[in-house]
Copies of this chain bind each other. A is one copy, B any other.
Amino acid sequence: MARLSWNRYGKSRVRLVKVRRPRGTMTTGAPGVNDVPHEIVDLTIDVQLEGAFERVYVDGDNSQCVATDTMKNTVYAFARQEAIDHVELFANRLAAHFLETPAVSRVRISAVEHRWDRVSVDGRPHPHAFAQPGGEQWTAVVSRDARSTTIVSGVTNLVVLKTTDSAFSGFPRDHFTTLAETEDRILATSVTASWTYRPGTTDFAARDRIRRALVETFAAHQSRSVQQTLYAMGEAALAACSDVTDITLELPNRHHVLVDLKPFGLDNPNEIFVATDQPFGLIEATIRRSRP
């Protein structure tokens, strides 16, 4: 009574971040060696296959049904082997591969490329720190009663990423600890900052200086932890504007997980990552100006 008249299946929203490091650069995190510019490619990829899959649908016979998990693996393995100079060519290379699958008659590879602009530090493009046009906004909150007025300004959705100069090691290990130590990882976050002006402040154009201090410190910091970088950013913001009495920073740690490519006979020298949304670390602190 019924028949399969059209079908398509595949894996959607495969998140891929590739860090391209020019030949000869090191990734040790040691000062001075990271001055050759890194490049970052940040993609969300969908793989979709059409073909003669009636037996899968009608009979529950999976012998032709390539697992969508395999598609995901293929994307990461190819990403290690391809330059990805143009997303179109990478997508086409994937399409050609999947078209060789038995039963497949048509392949559709969709890619969304997330933009990253190189951060400027002292007017020069930074070699390995990036910002994303991801909905950044200024904020301001005025609270006022009969006796006092408090003005808190800030910035939110300021998305930044650095491809090196970030480590996390030396942390305590208990019965539930499995995380490996690392001396070189991607550090990505969406900064929310809010700072309090001392009463009587009138120079609210200072927000540009504070934002610049936050971004430049994020870029330049040799990070031992998100916490340490947060503190350095807060210190820099206080230094950038003497009218600010304290600053609160919220830094979600948008984990980039190194893909294990060994099952496919490939190494992964800090190059191919999965960008994850959740769970995420969330680091929050208030840095206050000390009274002299």
Contacts and interface: CB of A to CB of B under 8 A. Distances in A.
* Chain A interface residue number, banded: 35 or more
Contact of A106 (B12, B92, B138, B145): B145
A256 to B, nearest CB: 13
B12 A278 contact: yes
A87 B140 contact: yes
A48 to B, nearest CB: 7
A81 B89 CA distance: 49
B2 A288 contact: yes
A112 B95 CA distance: 35
The number of times this chain is found in the oligomer is 4
B72 A279 contact: yes
A280 B133 CA distance: 24
A269 interface: no
A110 B141 contact: yes
Contact of A145 (B68, B105, B134, B143): B105
A65 interface: yes
B134 A135 contact: yes
Interface in A271-287: 277-287
Contact of A58 (B67, B172, B231): B231
A281 to B, nearest CB: 4
A35 B101 CA distance: 40
Interface in A212-257: 224-228, 230-231, 234-235, 238-239, 246, 248, 252-253
Interface in A20-74: 46, 48, 53, 56-70, 72-74
Nearest first, the 5 A-B pairs at minimum CB distance are A60-B224, A133-B133, A13-B278, A113-B138, A7-B285
